[in-house]
Structure 1
Amino acid sequence: MTNLTATVADPAASDAPVIAYPTPLLRIDGVTKKFGAHSAVDDLSLDIKAGEFFALLGPSGCGKTTLLRMLAGFEAPDTGKIELNGEDIAAVLPHQRPVNMMFQNYALFPHLNVRDNIGFGLKSAGLTRLGIDTRVAEMVALVKLQGLEKRRPDQLSGGQKQRVALARALARHPQLLLLDEPLAALDKKLREETQVELMALQRQLGTTFVIVTHDQEEAMTMADRIGVMNDGRLQQVATPRQLYEAPASRWVAEFVGDINIIEGGITHRDSHRLTIAGRDVGTLFAIEPRQPVGDAVICVAIRPEKIRLSRRGPATDLVNSGAMNSLEGVISDVGYLGGRSLYKVKLDRGATLRVALANTARLDVDAYSMGERVAAWFAPDDCVVLVQ
């Protein structure tokens, strides 16, 4: 794979060292696509690195599949550029791009067996019969379909069909592989197994993968970085951890994972610590975010697993010093999910907090029950302060 670089030197210093910056494999620059008056993709810009596993995540209708289809060449952007290895490919026909796409419904040919489905398109790529046979054998071994080469799609399981579609998409050695909800048709257990296999395969090949999904867990598990889309625009691009722990907006915080949102206003600032009057919860302490929030109405976001429960609460001196937030209330709902339990705590001031606790003991001798009075406590570091 070609490693392209762009060199930048300081013109004010003739003997300054030349600094090299890696050029992204894929650059999407100000792309807009409209259908009538509706902007499916709206002035979107994004760089994707060579060898990256990138996920486009968002609700239905957010524009992620339209963007994927433009990368594949099935749709043309109204404005903007799509560059692959520094070349504008917006006008290049789909079959002439070093790009392949795996469709959600797999799009296998029902009258062709596994071997012929995988090899379809290799002849037009200029391979000889021997070259096709060799490439198909490589792909069959890669996706572990040995012994099934003569079966037709109706003789395969859902997971096997998915492997055939993946092998066909990889057979032409694309620089960029696009995957449109590729695991949606699989059951939960098989989907989880296939996620691990796809990650291992991508690392083995070094091919750049771009996956479209509305499944947050799938994106968080598989991707190096995630682009969250809504209404045709990117709301945030970050690693899974950054996206979860430091959402850029309230919308992203509420979309990615489960979270408690407390509205309020800042009443005091002291050494990067904020004192906040939280609506229906009382006083909260939080660490001031890197991006200043001014005196605007804000919200505090707290993940359920960051909150601890206690029948007594934290030490009084921790609460009085602002080193710990403590909110009292009553357990109003309990959900048991095996590895963890989900609690709803109705606070004395009116708000309800969702709390997730790991079930570390086999028996529920220490579990909390409905109607039990508790203190919900968490550190100021656990609070994400966002502008409303």
Structure 2
Amino acid sequence: MTDEPATSEPPLEVVAEPARPAPPAEAADIPLLRIEAVVKQFGGFRAVDRLSLDIRAGEFFALLGPSGCGKTTLLRMLAGFETPDEGRILLDGWDIAPLLPHERPVNMMFQNYALFPHLSVRDNIAFGLKRAGMAASEIAERVAEMVALVKLEGLEKRKPDQLSGGQKQRVALARALARRPRILLLDEPLAALDKKLRESTQAELMALQRRLGTTFIIVTHDQDEAMTMADRIGVMDRGRLEQVATPRQLYEAPASRWIAEFVGDINLFEGEVASREAGRLVIATREAGSIVVAAPLQPITKDVVAVAIRPEKVKLSRRGPASDDADHAHAINRLEGVVTDVGYLGGTTTYRVQLDSGAVLRSSMANTARIDIDAYSPTHRVVAWFTPDDCLVLEQ
């Protein structure tokens, strides 16, 4: 394998990999992984379409997208199980296409874990080390390290069918990390776990990644999972990257209407720019009348646009906002209607409000008190309000 990742612990001895030339002097300025205009086709179907992406060393990166968008195909090309039809995949500045999967400083943890049913926990973890020719004493030391790392002490002699789903996941993770890859690829690694176990495992994976300093690339269709774990997220659709951003940027400043609708819940009203003034736009919408929005940083070049408001930005009250609820109370958008549906989710309550115009507006409000005197029920008449800064303007 290649160089050890940065860690506060003493470096472990690593398995030697085939010799390769020293990287060029300017390699320090390039990302750990660079994907350049990669194309992959299966017959007449283009699974990955001229995709380019840079991933930094030590980054926790998520590939997010609907089923069939090409994210797993891309992951398999990084692992060496598929070959690009066009483009290059560079690791530390060198094209890794000629390397077989077991020759790459990359390892992959599969969705179904792919454990050997006839091997014990210890032997499953040791499998790749034995194939790499590591000495028996070194294998024993490395396996013990991995067992402790993923908290499997006392289970070393068990077979996979004697383990819980969470324990199997830990064995697969330990085996994937045992050879100290530069990049760990994770294909829907938490899909088989129940909600509580999935949430605790997310935290453990994040802590483990920070401790080891290994670059993690995770493929998922679970938005919450990507938003929770990743430093940056690449959203894919039909083989292309639609946006690469931090979770906050992706949620608060989506690059397109499609991303705004795909990531989280959102209210969308179509309309036209009616007027422009300092720092403000007035959008005449078909469903909700005139809405005042903050002018985006990027100038709006089209007159037909969509106004987007996240449900948690929409407040409800019986009479509207108090005068101190915003710096510019006169600019607050007020829409009146009737509550039609209520969903209590513990930490939040969701509301559907049918506006007087007939359109439906969704609101999500935090439950900050055990007994909420401001809760609303179906048939309650309410004022829904939000500020210009709460709105996004998206060109059609």
One-letter amino acid matched to 1:23 = I
Q: Cα offset for 1:220?
A: 0.3
Q: How many residues align?
A: 376
Does 2:261 align with 1:257? no
Using the alignment, how far apart are the partners of 2:201 and 2:293 within structure 1? Answer: 40
Does the aligned pair in 2 maintain the 1:5–1:23 contact within 8 Å?
A: no
Which residue of the other structure, out of 230, 236, 241, is the alignment partner of 2:243?
236
One-letter amino acid matched to 1:383 = C
One-letter amino acid matched to 1:291 = Q
One-letter amino acid matched to 1:306 = K
Aligned to 2:375: 367
Aligned CA RMSD, in angstroms, stands at 1.9
Aligned to 2:287: 280
Classify the secondary structure of the residue corresponding to 2:130: coil
One-letter amino acid matched to 1:253 = A
CA shift digits 1:131-184 (9 cap, x unpaired) = 100110000000000010000000000000000000000000000000000000
One-letter amino acid matched to 2:196 = K
Bigger drift between 309-318 and 250-259 goes to: 309-318
Does the aligned pair in 2 maintain the 1:319–1:326 contact within 8 Å?
A: no
Using the alignment, how far apart are the partners of 1:39 and 1:226 within structure 2? Answer: 22
Aligned to 2:156: 149
Aligned to 1:314: 321
Aligned to 1:77: 84
Q: Cα offset for 1:359?
A: 1.1
Which residue of the other structure, out of 369, 378, 386, is the alignment partner of 1:378?
386
Aligned to 1:198: 205
Aligned to 1:290: 297
CA shift digits 1:162-209 (9 cap, x unpaired) = 000000000000000000000000000000000000000000000000
CA shift digits 1:82-129 (9 cap, x unpaired) = 000110012211010000000000000000000000000212223100
Does the aligned pair in 1 maintain the 2:48–2:74 contact within 8 Å?
A: yes
Q: Normalising by structure 2, report the TM-score.
A: 0.92
Q: Cα offset for 1:349?
A: 1.1
After TM superposition, where is structure 1 displaced by more than 6 Å over at least 4 residues in a row?
Answer: 2-6, 316-321
Does 2:133 align with 1:112? no
Q: Normalising by structure 1, report the TM-score.
A: 0.94
Does 2:356 align with 1:354? no
Classify the secondary structure of the residue corresponding to 1:123: helix
Which residue of the other structure, out of 66, 78, 86, is the alignment partner of 2:93?
86
One-letter amino acid matched to 1:39 = R
Aligned to 1:339: 347
Percent identity for Structure 1 against Structure 2? 71
One-letter amino acid matched to 2:272 = G
Does the aligned pair in 1 maintain the 2:302–2:395 contact within 8 Å?
A: no
One-letter amino acid matched to 1:309 = L
Using the alignment, how far apart are the partners of 1:129 and 1:176 within structure 2? Answer: 25
Q: Cα offset for 1:58?
A: 0.4
Q: Cα offset for 1:319?
A: 11
Bigger drift between 169-178 and 292-301 goes to: 292-301
Q: Cα offset for 1:322?
A: 4.9
Q: Cα offset for 1:323?
A: 2.1
